[in-house]
Structure formats: structure tokens, C-alpha cells
Amino acid sequence: MLGLGEGVRATADVGVWLPRLTGTAWSGGMGATQFALDGDLGVQDQGVGFAGEFAISLDRWRFGGMGFQVSANGSSSASVGGSFAGVAVNAGDTVSGSYDAWMAGAEVGYVLWRPFADQPWPWSAPGDNRAGAQAAIGRNGRPLADIQVFALAGGLAFQYEQQVANVTAGGSGSFGRTIGAAYGGVGLDIRAGMDGRVPLLQDIRIYGHAGFGGGWPDAGSVWMIRVGIAAMLLENVGVEFGYRLFDFDLTQGDSQVDAGLRGLFAAVSLRF
């Protein structure tokens, strides 16, 4: 019966993330020239990195962690003139650049609504949806339909390092910050069981998580989006495809970066 005596459940997703770095960077106060990271400061190549997350569920609670590491480099011709990280740039100069970033975080979630479970709401009495909870379980013991809406809260550490070099005029500099951040958010998890109706497919999971918060020191807002679909090909192993976005605002001295890492994610999905 869905939601009654399920015990501890665990999921893990480990894979490759292919983000692009987009956003702006500048030095100085109001009116300073803003450079496009991917158009003026050389970071045009597709990033290649690792990303993963895991979660352990018990009753309505979810405890987990996540992280990524990614880097890229490239070169471009600046479309505007100005300075960033101590490097003077004129319009038309060739600029080479690179970045490296990593994030590690912990997260807790609490299920607010699970319509097919025995107890749909936290304040519902056990047995409010007993018939529906029985009907939601297939012959193979997996849920035929399970929707969970939950609140999220978490904390993370994030490090960003960027290198800039003016190939035409000479000069190089760097920008780097390591911050901590706290955030809150919401999540949606939808599972559909195949119950033997589709060969080589046990069930499908579709999910979406979003979080927003603030960082310190010398950091503004931080927000993230994680969406994807996982197809369990075996009882405990499947494949996953999704999208990840991590947006940040950092300051070092008089230099500032307002940027985001966003791109496709492919992984092996484990479920126990």
C-alpha cells in the first residue's frame, strides 16, 4: 500500500553535465563596461564536467546531497572596451579565458502532498485514501502512479575561478570566490509504473526541483533548477536525461560576475 510501511528508500544519479557559462562581468561601479562572458572574455567552449546527487527517503522526509565540477576555456574577439580583473581590453582585442567551478551541497525535503498515498497531506488522518493507495500499487510491487510535492531547504559551498588574458595587448588577471549559500525551494516527483506492460522498462520518474537563496561573503543571489526524466531499465538501474541550471552573483574587490551555468545532464540512475 502506497505510503504505509514503505521503509527507507534511496536514489542516486551520477553522470556528465555539459553546461555553457553565460552572463556578464565588469570592474568598477555604475556605468562600467559589462563584458559578455561567452562573447568578450573568451569562455565560449562547451564545459564538460561531473554532476551527481543522492537522496534517502523515510516517510515524508528526504535527506540528500548534490554537487558538480566543471571547467572550460576558449578565446574570442572583444566587442567592447573596458577592464575586468585588472586586465584592460579594447574593442577588437583577442581575449583568451578559462574557468573552473565546483559546488557541494546538502538538502532536506518534506513531502507536503502525495495524492495517491494512504495519507495525502501531513495533516490527513492515516487511511484517508486507503482505497486509492491500494490501487496505486502494481502486480510487481511498484507504484503505478505516485506524485509527490515537497518543500526543500539546503546549504552549499561554491567556488568559481576565472582566468583572463589579453592576447593582443598583453596582460592577464584572475577572478575567484569561494562562498557559502542557504536556499529554500520546491520539488515535484512523478513516478509511473509499467507493471510489465513495456518490455525492458520497470518505471519512469519525472522530476523538477527549484531553489533560491543568498550567498556570503561578497555574493548576491544563488538559484538553481534541476529537471529530468529517468527510465528504470532494471529493478534498480536506469538511465536519466535532464537539464541543470546554477545561477550566481559574485564580487571580488571592484570586479563582479553575474553568471549562470546551464546545460544538459546525462546519468546512470540507481534506486534501492
Model pLDDT for residues 213-262, shown as the tens digit of each residue: 999 998 899 999 999 999 988 888 999 999 999 999 999 999 999 999 99
pLDDT surpassing 90 at residue 197: no
- Note the pLDDT of residue 148: 96
Residue 61 lies in domain: 8-271
Kindly state whether residue 2 falls inside one of the protein's structural domains.
no
Distance CA 272, CA 255 (A): 46
Instruction: Kindly indicate the confidence band of residue 194, based on its pLDDT and cuts at 50, 70 and 90.
Output: confident
- Note the pLDDT of residue 190: 96
- Note the pLDDT of residue 239: 96
Residue 124 CB contacts under 8 Å (≥ 6 apart), including other chains: none
* Backbone dihedral angles phi then psi of residue 34, each to the nearest 5 degrees: -105, 125
- Note the pLDDT of residue 132: 87
Kindly state whether residue 220 falls inside one of the protein's structural domains.
yes
Query: Per the structure, how many domains does the chain have?
Result: 1
Residue 121 is part of a domain; what is its CATH number? Answer: 2.40.128
Compute how many other C-beta atoms are within 10 angstroms of the C-beta atom of residue 79: 11
Kindly state whether residue 184 falls inside one of the protein's structural domains.
yes
Model pLDDT for residues 134-147, shown as the tens digit of each residue: 888 877 777 889 99
What amino acid is encoded at 7 in this protein?
G
Mean pLDDT of 182-211: 90
Kindly state whether residue 89 falls inside one of the protein's structural domains.
yes
Kindly state whether residue 127 falls inside one of the protein's structural domains.
yes
Kindly state whether residue 1 falls inside one of the protein's structural domains.
no
What proportion of the chain, given as a percentage, has pLDDT over 90? 78
- Checking DSSP bridges between strand 35-36 and strand 48-58, what pairing results, if any? unpaired
pLDDT surpassing 90 at residue 56: yes
Kindly state whether residue 240 falls inside one of the protein's structural domains.
yes
pLDDT surpassing 80 at residue 44: no
- Note the pLDDT of residue 199: 77
Locate all alpha helices (DSSP H) within the chain, ordered by sequence: 130-135
Residue showing cell 555604475: 30
Average pLDDT, the chain: 92
Instruction: Kindly indicate the confidence band of residue 264, based on its pLDDT and cuts at 50, 70 and 90.
Output: very high
